[in-house]
C-alpha cells in the first residue's frame, strides 16, 4: 500500500528524487553510524542521474544536510546554505570520530550506475585502520521515496502490508466501489486507517493542504531571479499583480481563469526552484499541479469545505499510488510524463471527486490527463528544475482542469482505460532514450544556452 502521506510529503525543493531522497538516505546512514558509536571516516558516492544532474538539483547540499542529521520536512529552507557552508569549513558532522571533507568524501561517480535504479547512492564508514565498518546502498526511486537494495527486493517479492481494501489497478478500484458502495476517497481512507487514526489522518491532510497553500502565498510575494545562474526571473508576483489590477474590470476574457490556475502552479514551482518549502506531489518537479488545482477548487468552484479538500487529496493519492505501483513517477525512469503527467492525473481525479463526480468519472478524468502527457521527456536545462519544469506545471494544472471538466460532462463511459494509459506510459518511458530521462544530455538541455 502506498499511503497518501508517502505521496504527499512536506519537504524542500528543488527535487524530490535528487534533493529530498538523498537527504533522507544520508540521514538514515548517519543514524546507522551513530548507533555503532561513530567511525574514523565516512564517504558518500552518488551515481547515474544523481551525479549527472546533482549539482543543479542540490544533491550535494542535500547529502551534507542529511549527514548532519536534518530532515526535509523540518529543516528551515533559509538555513540550508549556511549549514552546508559551515560543514564545508569545519568538517564537523557531529558524529564521534568523523572529520568529513566534502571535496574528498562526497564523490560524483559519472561512469557507473548501480544495478537497481539510476538514482543510486553508496555510503561507507571506515575505522582508523581504513577497514570497512558499514557499506549501505540506497536508491532514490522518485517522489522522495528511498529504499535499500533489500527493501527494493522485498517490495518486488510482494512482502508488503496488505490494506483492508486492496486495489492494484484502476479496474480493481472501480470494482471495489461497485462491490462496497464506497467512493474512491472512502476506500483510500479505509486503507489509511490501518496506519493512523481518523483524527491523525484529517489533521495530516489539512496540514498538507495548508503547506500547499502557504507555498502558493509565499510564491506570490517573492520576486527576482531564481538561483543557479540561468537568469530565470520569477513571474508569479507580476502575474498576480496584473490579475488583481484587472479583477473588477468590466470586460475580462473568459480565459482569464487559466491565468489564475497557471499563477498558482508558477508560484509553487518558483518556490521549489529556489529551494523553498514545498509538498512533494508526487514529485518536487511536478509539485505545482495538485496545489494549483486544489486552490482553484477552493477559490473558484462551489461548495468548498474541509471535507472536499480531504476527498480531493485522498482521491489524488489513490490515483498516484496506482501510477507509482504500475509504472513510475520518476523522471529519471520514464521522463516527465511520469512526473507532470502523473501529477495532472492525480489533480484531475481530485477535482472530479471534489465536484461530486462518480468513481467512473474520476477514473476517466485521470486517464484523460495522463493520456495527453504521454511521451513527454525530461530535459531540464543545466540540471535545474526551472526550464521547462516551471511552465510545464502551469500547463499540467490547466490540462487537469480540462480533463476533469470533460469527464464531468460525460457519464464515465470511455474508450481508453486508466490502466491502459498507465501501461502505455510505462512502456513509452522504457523505450525512451536514456538522454531524455533527467540527465540534461538531450532536448532543451542541449539546445538552449545555459548562460
Ligand atoms: S522536466 Fe519534468 S520530470 Fe524533468 S525535472 Fe522538470 S518537471 Fe521533473
Instruction: Bin 356: left if φ > 0, else alpha if -120 < ψ < 50, else beta.
Output: left
Compute the distance from residue 282 Cα to the ligand 1 centre, in Å. 12
Find out whether 343 and 286 touch, Cβ atoms under 8 Å: yes
Q: Which domains does the chain have, with CATH numbers?
A: 15-156 (3.30.1330.90), 170-447 (1.10.4100)
What pLDDT sits at residue 381? 95
Compute the distance from residue 258 Cα to the ligand 1 centre, in Å. 22
What pLDDT sits at residue 449? 82
Find out whether 264 and 295 touch, Cβ atoms under 8 Å: yes
C-beta 388 within 6 A of ligand 1:
yes
CA distance 350 to 290: 8
In which residue ranges of the chain is pLDDT below 70? Answer: 155-161, 451
C-beta 333 within 6 A of ligand 1:
no
Q: Whose CA is nearest to atom 3 of ligand 1?
A: 336
CA distance 353 to 263: 23
What pLDDT sits at residue 355? 98
Q: What number does the ligand 1 atom closest to the CA of 379 have?
A: 1
Please classify residue 36 by burial: count the beta carbons closer than 10 Å to its beta carbon, then call 0-12 exposed, 13-18 middle and 19+ buried: exposed
Q: Give me the sign of the Cα torsion angle 81, 87, 89, 94.
A: positive
Q: Whose CA is nearest to atom 1 of ligand 1?
A: 378
Q: Which three cell numbers stand for residue 405?
A: 471538466
What pLDDT sits at residue 444? 94
Q: Whose CA is nearest to atom 8 of ligand 1?
A: 285
135 membership: H or E segment, kind and range:
strand 132-142
C-beta 340 within 6 A of ligand 1:
yes
* Cα-based angle 238, 240, 243 (whole degrees, multiple of 5): 110
- Longest CA–CA span in the chain (Å) reads 78
C-beta 443 within 6 A of ligand 1:
no
**To test the ligand 1 pocket, which listed residue (57, 278, 286) has its Cβ within 8 A of the most ligand atoms?**
286
Number of H helices and number of E strands within the chain?
A: 20, 7
C-beta 331 within 6 A of ligand 1:
yes
Q: What number does the ligand 1 atom closest to the CA of 283 have?
A: 8
Which residues in 256-358 belong to E strands, given as ranges? 277-280
C-beta 380 within 6 A of ligand 1:
yes
C-beta 286 within 6 A of ligand 1:
yes
182 membership: H or E segment, kind and range:
none
Would you call 432 helix, strand, or coil by DSSP?
coil
Residue for grid cell 487514526: 197
| pLDDT, tens digit, 9 for 90 and up, residues 137-154 | 999 998 898 999 888 777
Please classify residue 332 by burial: count the beta carbons closer than 10 Å to its beta carbon, then call 0-12 exposed, 13-18 middle and 19+ buried: buried
Amino acid at each position: 500500500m502506498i499511503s497518501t502521506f508517502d505521496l504527499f510529503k512536506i519537504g524542500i525543493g528543488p527535487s524530490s528524487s535528487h534533493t529530498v531522497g538523498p537527504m533522507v538516505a544520508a540521514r538514515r546512514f548517519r543514524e546507522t553510524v551513530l548507533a555503532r558509536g561513530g567511525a574514523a571516516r565516512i564517504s558518500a558516492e552518488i551515481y547515474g542521474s544523481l551525479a549527472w544532474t546533482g549539482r543543479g538539483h542540490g544533491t550535494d547540499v542535500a547529502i551534507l544536510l542529511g549527514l548532519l542529521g536534518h530532515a526535509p520536512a523540518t529543516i528551515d529552507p533559509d538555513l540550508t546554505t549556511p549549514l552546508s557552508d559551515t560543514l564545508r569549513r569545519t568538517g564537523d558532522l557531529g558524529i564521534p570520530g568523523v572529520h568529513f571533507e566534502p571535496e574528498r568524501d562526497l564523490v560524483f561517480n559519472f561512469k557507473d550506475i548501480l544495478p537497481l535504479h539510476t538514482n543510486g547512492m553508496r555510503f561507507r564508514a571506515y575505522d582508523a585502520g581504513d577497514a570497512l565498518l558499514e557499506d549501505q546502498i540506497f536508491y532514490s526511486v522518485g517522489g522522495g521515496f528511498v529504499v535499500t537494495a533489500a527493501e527494493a527486493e522485498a517490495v518486488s517479492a510482494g512482502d508488503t502490508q496488505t490494506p483492508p481494501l486492496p486495489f492494484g489497478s484502476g479496474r480493481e478500484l472501480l470494482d471495489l466501489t461497485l462491490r462496497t458502495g464506497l467512493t474512491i476517497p472512502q476506500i483510500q481512507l479505509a486503507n489509511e486507517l490501518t496506519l493512523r487514526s481518523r483524527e491523525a489522518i484529517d489533521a495530516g491532510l489539512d496540514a498538507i493542504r495548508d503547506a500547499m497553500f502557504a507555498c502558493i502565498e509565499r510564491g506570490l510575494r517573492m520576486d527576482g531571479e531564481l538561483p543557479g545562474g540561468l537568469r530565470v526571473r520569477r513571474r508569479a508576483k507580476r502575474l498576480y499583480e496584473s490579475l488583481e489590477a484587472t479583477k473588477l474590470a468590466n470586460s475580462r476574457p473568459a480565459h482569464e481563469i487559466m491565468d489564475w490556475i497557471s499563477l498558482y502552479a508558477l508560484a509553487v514551482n518558483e518556490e521549489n526552484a529556489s529551494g523553498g518549502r514545498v509538498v512533494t506531489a508526487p514529485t518536487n518537479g511536478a509539485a505545482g499541479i495538485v496545489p494549483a488545482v486544489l486552490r482553484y477548487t477552493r477559490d473558484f468552484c462551489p461548495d468548498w469545505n474541509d471535507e472536499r479538500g480531504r476527498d480531493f487529496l485522498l482521491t489524488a493519492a489513490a490515483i498516484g499510488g496506482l501510477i507509482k505501483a504500475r509504472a513510475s513517477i520518476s523522471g529519471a525512469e520514464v521522463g516527465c510524463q511520469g512526473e507532470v503527467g502523473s501529477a495532472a492525473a492525480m489533480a484531475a481525479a481530485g477535482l472530479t471527486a471534489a465536484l461530486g463526480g462518480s468513481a467512473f468519472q474520476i477514473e476517466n478524468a485521470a486517464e484523460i490527463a495522463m493520456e495527453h502527457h504521454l511521451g513527454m521527456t525530461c530535459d531540464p536545462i543545466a540540471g535545474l528544475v526551472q526550464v521547462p519544469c516551471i511552465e510545464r506545471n502551469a500547463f499540467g494544472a490547466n490540462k487537469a482542469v480540462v480533463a476533469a471538466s470533460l469527464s464531468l460532462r460525460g457519464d464515465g463511459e470511455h474508450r481508453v482505460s486508466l490502466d491502459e494509459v498507465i501501461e502505455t506510459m510505462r512502456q513509452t518511458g522504457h523505450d525512451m532514450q536514456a538522454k531524455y530521462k533527467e540527465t540534461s544530455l538531450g532536448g532543451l538541455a542541449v539546445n538552449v544556452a545555459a548562460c
